[in-house]
Amino acid sequence: MHSEKKGRVALAALEAQENVRLIMEWAQGLDLSALKSDRKTRYAIERAFMAIDAALRDIPTGVLAQFGIPVRMIAGFRNILAHTYDDVLDDRVILTIRRDLPELDAALTRLLDADSPEESA
């Protein structure tokens, strides 16, 4: 991959990873009831999820696939958050934070640690 493009990919991956880590930090110790009652934290978490999607859009889909990053699922979750706020189930947000974000963080770390991710698409 061209060095300039590799740099953009790294910046995008770092941006996504920073938002993943912010969400995990903000959600630490929150249960479902606490998430529902803390509107400020809930809002911040939702915006950080949207920022993850935005950052990943700057990474070629082939690179995302190479590292097992489920970009379509992330985009779908972002769309749910952005367009159907009242219909989002709080338990789905908590589940995504607890189950999926650590895995996404690890995949982004692998991407960032790779010498030269292959660009295919």
pLDDT per position as a tens digit, 41-69 = 989 999 999 999 999 999 999 999 999 99
Residues 6+ apart with CB under 8 A from 2: none
The stretches of 28-70 forming alpha helices (DSSP H) are 32-37, 39-56, 61-66
Task: Report the pLDDT averaged over residues 26-51.
Answer: 91
> Looking at the domain assignment, is residue 98 inside a domain?
yes
Report the domain count for the chain. 1
pTM of the model: 0.86
Q: What is the CATH number of the domain that holds 89?
A: 1.20.120
Under a CB-based contact definition with an 8 Å cutoff, are residues 9 and 107 in contact? Answer: no
Under a CB-based contact definition with an 8 Å cutoff, are residues 38 and 30 in contact? Answer: yes
Q: CA 53, 56, 61 angle in degrees (round to 5)?
A: 125
Q: Average pLDDT of the chain?
A: 88
Q: Name the band, by pLDDT with cuts 50, 70 and 90, for residue 92.
A: confident
> Looking at the domain assignment, is residue 56 inside a domain?
yes
Helix 101-113 and helix 3-27: axis angle, to 10°? 150
Q: CA 10, 14, 20 angle in degrees (round to 5)?
A: 145
> Looking at the domain assignment, is residue 118 inside a domain?
no
pLDDT at 115 > cutoff 70: no
Task: Report the pLDDT averaged over residues 87-107.
Answer: 88
Range of the domain at 37: 3-113
Q: CA–CA separation, 83 vs 53, rounded Å?
A: 14
Q: Which comes out higher in pLDDT, residue 76 or 16?
A: 16
> Looking at the domain assignment, is residue 37 inside a domain?
yes
